């Protein structure tokens, strides 16, 4: 008998595995089908937007090039004299899934567009899968969990945001919520607290702080509720919250620690005329400008009501969510999910909500999240699992009264929409003539959803037909937003950004053929994308979200500053500065001008001048009455240097982003200047011994050399990255250990009611 039972159990294992994989497999098919324009054809793209084409694509191209040369992309030498890349956060250099993208084979040195399209689709699949797992953990059926996963990934914030760094941070939120709800349900609370913190920390690695900040705020709300309702012993809930916070800090270390260091030494553009420092509070006027307009909430059910974000999930999903709320109100998890969704709406309204203003004043770092409208993500996070509760409630016929009410309300809403549209069109009212015709999708979906509810209530449909019907109607609605408006490759106006990035090959070839090291000043009106990262050419400026303060103070638009930064060429369509001469004209009409007064990449000085620490370096450079090539400006106590008649000789023997090796022959004691940004983490090794790096001219690197021949090496070894990486690895090992610990334990019954 024992043998027979074991044999029977073993024979069920493949079926159980197939059943467990059925939901994720169906979600994958749904995501691929939803984004068929990207991965089943070569006619559309998501890469044409300004920020994506001008900023994200060049960042990704540079990182892919670095990975294929065997280097971790910590430092970007191609913009603003060199800037820390990982510390900027937005490039997503600390996010492990991005590493897989960058390691994929390049085509003629370029990252493939098809890979970027699949990358975009897989981000959404990841979101769908994690929401599916959340719903399954909440004891929702597989069909209902699939529907909720589709709503979360293909609607609302996730479907209408194209910044990958924001999406990569958002996809982990369902797992954070999953384990927080486990804590509240008493399921292995210590382990669940740690794993919730781990996944919140991983979301920070995605590259953007905004969504993790709002998720942390929602998590804080749940922890307060847990502490207030946990009972004795009173210390347990705060201790579990402390573990959650500790794991968040550890897991995010690879990104948060370098970003914090960088934030202290940089300025960030937040929507004001001038960038702000880390110590400066982002003014509430900025938050007010980027708040969600109240009328945009109509966009939950009507496509097209959008500004910077779009909350659209459609009338069908919204109705199911309300049904889930009504039918399962006694379930504690349902009430908490509703609270998360409501908090997202309240926060997103920003200036229209007094609660946002209070939190702005009191909550740590919330003022850094300058776009309250993005908090609508919490609405989508909370509402999507409620869709699963709604579908299960419908299939279980928890309340025939609510089914009848919902079907009548849907029919009434559809009739009202159609009557209003008909009246506007017949009267030829401008509002009707200019109305987005996708509103008709809402009316159609309302009728179809009402028909499904009515047919199920009256016994005319089987359960599988009902959930497939709802899935079809929801996808019909979601298709009216998100992926519907991707630009076609023949749409030259919408693809103009990508077209511009394919031009200038002849100018790039000319610049690469020039000897020695130099920088290029690119007119951003003529070439709006980050030319340096895209082509691997050192430029003097570029589009960044933030910039080291020393380079900002150097005011690189000034002629003296450009000479110090070895700006030898200017690419522009207009005449260049006096004294420059035209040396090349591209096929597109842009000209290359040479600046004969540019300094070399490295030189030596034997005299220093101390300046006031508060002096704006850029303006000062234009007023000095001596040759900057022979005297260096320092804000610190200058070292003693010698004056000699014998000439110095310096040459660069090797250079890549993380290392510069020079050979120097000094006639006497002097300072070697390297025309690259001074920043913590750079070390100078002279003849095998570490030497101090001075911040010359307020922004460049200088090292003192004695008389004679020297081998000088500058290398980037940022302690913040190494320590942050150690913290993240530690969190990962702790999370893995906690997951494996007690793997064979009997499952804990979770108290969600």
Tens of pLDDT along 571-599? 998 877 778 889 999 998 899 999 988 99
Tens of pLDDT along 535-546? 999 999 889 989
How deeply is 56 buried, as exposed, middle or buried, from its count of CB atoms within 10 A (0-12, 13-18, 19+)? buried
Three-class DSSP labels, 69-110: CCCCCCEECCCCCCEECHHHCCCCCCCHHHHHHHHCCCECCE
How confident is the model at residue 611, as a pLDDT? Answer: 85
Q: How far is CA 473 from CA 38, 117, 346, in A?
A: 22, 26, 29
What is the DSSP code string of 197-262? HHHHHHHHHTS-SHHHHHHHHHHHHHHHHHHHH--SSTTHHHHHHHHHHHHHHHHTHHHHHHHHHH
Tens of pLDDT along 8-46? 455 566 777 777 788 899 999 999 999 999 999 999 999
With respect to CATH, is domain 602-720 assigned 1.20.140? no
| Residue 644 dihedral angles phi and psi, to the nearest 5° | -145, 160
Task: Pick the closest to residue 342 from 310, 378, 366 (CA basis).
Answer: 378
Strongest mean pLDDT among 111-120, 349-358, 567-576: 111-120
Q: What span, in angstroms and rounded, lies between the C-alpha atoms of 541 and 591? A: 18
Tens of pLDDT along 172-192? 999 999 999 999 988 889 999
Lowest mean pLDDT among 339-343, 418-422, 661-665: 418-422
Q: What span, in angstroms and rounded, lies between the C-alpha atoms of 81 and 522? A: 14
Lowest mean pLDDT among 283-287, 375-379, 397-401, 626-630: 397-401
Give yes or no for a cis peptide into 198 (omega within 30° of 0).
no
**Residue 608 pLDDT greater than 50, yes or no:** yes
Residue 653: its H or E element: strand 649-656
How confident is the model at residue 145, as a pLDDT? Answer: 96
Q: How many CA atoms lie within 13 A of 736 on its CB side?
A: 7
Average pLDDT over residues 219-227: 91
Q: How many CA atoms lie within 13 A of 168 on its CB side?
A: 24
Q: Are 142 and 26 in contact (CB under 8 A)?
A: no
| Residue 568 dihedral angles phi and psi, to the nearest 5° | -90, -30
How confident is the model at residue 13, as a pLDDT? Answer: 65
Domain boundaries, the chain: 2-272+462-484, 503-594, 602-720
Q: What span, in angstroms and rounded, lies between the C-alpha atoms of 294 and 337? A: 22
Report helix, strand or coil for 525: coil
**DSSP code of residue 264:** H
Q: Are 706 and 671 in contact (CB under 8 A)?
A: no
How confident is the model at residue 421, as a pLDDT? Answer: 66
Q: What span, in angstroms and rounded, lies between the C-alpha atoms of 221 and 577? A: 58
Q: What span, in angstroms and rounded, lies between the C-alpha atoms of 62 and 542? A: 14
Q: How confident is the model at residue 453 (pLDDT cuts 50, 70, 90)?
A: confident
Average pLDDT over residues 302-316: 84
Q: What span, in angstroms and rounded, lies between the C-alpha atoms of 197 and 291? A: 28
By DSSP bridging, strand 567-572 and strand 519-522 are parallel
Q: Whole-number mean pLDDT of the chain?
A: 88
Task: Pick the closest to residue 494 from 118, 115, 50, 116 (CA basis).
Answer: 50
**Residue 147 pLDDT greater than 80, yes or no:** yes
How confident is the model at residue 309, as a pLDDT? Answer: 84
Q: How confident is the model at residue 234 (pLDDT cuts 50, 70, 90)?
A: confident
Q: In what order do the strands lie in the sheet with 694-696?
A: 602-605, 670-677, 700-705, 694-696
How confident is the model at residue 422, as a pLDDT? Answer: 61
**DSSP code of residue 488:** B
Q: What span, in angstroms and rounded, lies between the C-alpha atoms of 678 and 533? A: 20
Q: What span, in angstroms and rounded, lies between the C-alpha atoms of 454 and 402? A: 11
Task: Pick the closest to residue 172 from 200, 198, 191 (CA basis).
Answer: 200
Task: Pick the closest to residue 383 from 297, 433, 451, 322 (CA basis).
Answer: 322
Q: How confident is the model at residue 436 (pLDDT cuts 50, 70, 90)?
A: low
**Residue 242 pLDDT greater than 90, yes or no:** yes
Task: Pick the closest to residue 533 from 105, 111, 70, 163 (CA basis).
Answer: 111
CB atoms within 10 A of CB 36: 12
Q: How confident is the model at residue 746 (pLDDT cuts 50, 70, 90)?
A: very low
How confident is the model at residue 5, as a pLDDT? Answer: 44
**Residue 426 pLDDT greater than 60, yes or no:** no
Average pLDDT over residues 495-522: 91
| Residue 395 dihedral angles phi and psi, to the nearest 5° | -65, -30
Task: Pick the closest to residue 209 from 119, 381, 319, 90 (CA basis).
Answer: 90
Tens of pLDDT along 40-63? 999 999 998 888 999 999 999 999
More confident residue, 197 or 271: 197
Could you tell me where the beta strands, DSSP code E, fall in 289-333?
A: none
How confident is the model at residue 12, as a pLDDT? Answer: 64
Lowest mean pLDDT among 65-69, 476-480, 492-496: 492-496
Kindly report each contact of residues 279-286 with a partner whose C-beta sits within 8 Å and lies 24 or more positions away, as own/partner. 281/367, 282/367, 282/368, 282/370, 284/351, 284/357, 284/360, 284/367, 286/370
How confident is the model at residue 703, as a pLDDT? Answer: 97
More confident residue, 499 or 706: 706
């Amino acid at each position: 008998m024992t043998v027979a039972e074991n044999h029977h159990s073993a024979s069920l294992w493949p079926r159980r595995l197939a059943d467990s994989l059925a939901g994720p497999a169906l979600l994958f098919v749904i995501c691929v089908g939803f984004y068929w324009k990207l991965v089943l054809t070569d006619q559309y793209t998501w890469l044409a937007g300004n920020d994506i084409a001008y900023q994200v694509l060049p960042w990704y191209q540079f990182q892919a090039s670095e990975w294929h040369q065997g280097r971790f992309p910590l430092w970007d030498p191609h913009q603003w004299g060199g800037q820390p890349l990982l510390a900027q956060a937005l490039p997503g250099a600390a996010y492990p899934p991005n590493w897989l993208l960058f390691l994929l084979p390049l085509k003629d040195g370029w990252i493939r567009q098809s890979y970027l399209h699949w990358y975009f689709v897989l981000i959404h699949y990841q979101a769908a899968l994690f929401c599916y797992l959340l719903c399954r953990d909440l004891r929702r059926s597989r069909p209902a969990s699939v529907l909720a996963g589709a709503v979360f990934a293909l609607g609302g914030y996730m479907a209408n945001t194209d910044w990958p760094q924001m999406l990569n941070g958002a996809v982990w939120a369902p797992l954070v919520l999953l384990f927080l709800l486990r804590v509240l349900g008493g399921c292995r609370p210590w382990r669940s607290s740690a794993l919730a913190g781990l996944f919140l920390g991983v979301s920070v690695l995605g590259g953007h702080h905004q969504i993790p900040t709002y998720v942390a705020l929602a998590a804080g709300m749940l922890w307060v509720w847990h502490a207030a309702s946990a009972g004795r012993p009173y210390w347990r809930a705060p201790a579990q919250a402390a573990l959650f916070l500790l794991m968040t800090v550890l897991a995010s270390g690879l990104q948060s620690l370098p970003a914090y260091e960088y934030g202290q030494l940089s300025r960030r553009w937040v929507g004001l005329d001038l960038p702000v420092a880390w110590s400066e509070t982002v003014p509430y006027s900025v938050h007010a400008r980027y708040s969600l307009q109240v009328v945009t909430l109509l966009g939950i059910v009507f496509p097209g009501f959008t500004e910077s974000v779009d909350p659209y999930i459609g009338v069908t999903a919204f109705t199911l969510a309300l049904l889930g709320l009504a039918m399962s109100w006694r379930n504690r998890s349902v009430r908490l999910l509703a609270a998360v969704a409501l908090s997202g709406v309240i926060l997103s309204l920003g200036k229209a909500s007094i609660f946002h203003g209070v939190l702005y004043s009191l909550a740590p770092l919330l003022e850094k999240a300058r776009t309250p409208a993005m908090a609508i993500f919490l609405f989508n996070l909370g509402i999507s699992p409620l869709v699963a509760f709604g579908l299960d409630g419908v299939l279980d016929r928890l309340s025939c009264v609510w089914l009848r009410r919902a079907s009548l309300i849907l029919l009434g809403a559809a009739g009202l929409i159609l009557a209003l549209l008909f009246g506007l069109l017949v009267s030829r009212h401008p509002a009707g003539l200019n109305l987005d015709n996708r509103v008709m999708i809402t009316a159609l979906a309302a009728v179809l959803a009402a028909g499904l509810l009515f047919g199920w209530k009256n016994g005319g449909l089987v359960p599988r037909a009902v959930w497939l019907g709802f899935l079809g109607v929801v996808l019909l609605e979601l298709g009216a937003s998100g992926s519907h408006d991707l630009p076609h490759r023949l749409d030259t106006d919408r693809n103009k950004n990508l077209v511009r990035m394919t031009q200038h090959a002849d100018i790039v070839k000319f610049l690469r053929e020039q000897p020695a090291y130099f920088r290029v000043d690119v007119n951003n009106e003529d070439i709006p994308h980050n030319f340096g990262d895209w082509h691997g050419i050192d430029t003097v400026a570029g589009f960044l979200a933030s910039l080291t303060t020393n380079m900002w103070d150097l005011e690189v638009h000034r002629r003296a500053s450009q000479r110090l930064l070895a700006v030898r060429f200017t690419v522009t369509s207009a005449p260049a500065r006096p004294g420059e001469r035209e040396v090349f004209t591209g096929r597109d009409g842009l000209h290359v001008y040479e600046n004969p007064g540019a300094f070399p990449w490295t030189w030596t000085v034997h005299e220093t001048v101390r300046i006031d620490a508060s002096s704006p370096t850029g303006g000062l450079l234009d007023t000095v009455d001596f040759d900057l090539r022979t005297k260096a400006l320092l804000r610190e106590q200058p070292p003693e240097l010698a004056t000699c008649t014998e000439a110095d000789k310096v040459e660069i023997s090797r250079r890549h982003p993380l290392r510069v090796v020079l050979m120097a022959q000094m006639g006497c004691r002097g300072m070697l200047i390297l025309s690259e940004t001074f920043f913590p983490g750079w070390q100078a090794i002279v003849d095998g011994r570490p030497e101090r790096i001075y911040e010359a001219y307020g922004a460049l690197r200088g090292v003192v050399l004695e008389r004679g021949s020297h081998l000088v090496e500058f290398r980037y070894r940022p302690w913040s990255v190494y320590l942050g990486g150690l913290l993240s690895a530690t969190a990962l090992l702790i999370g893995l250990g906690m997951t494996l610990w007690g793997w064979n334990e009997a499952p804990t019954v979770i108290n969600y009611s």
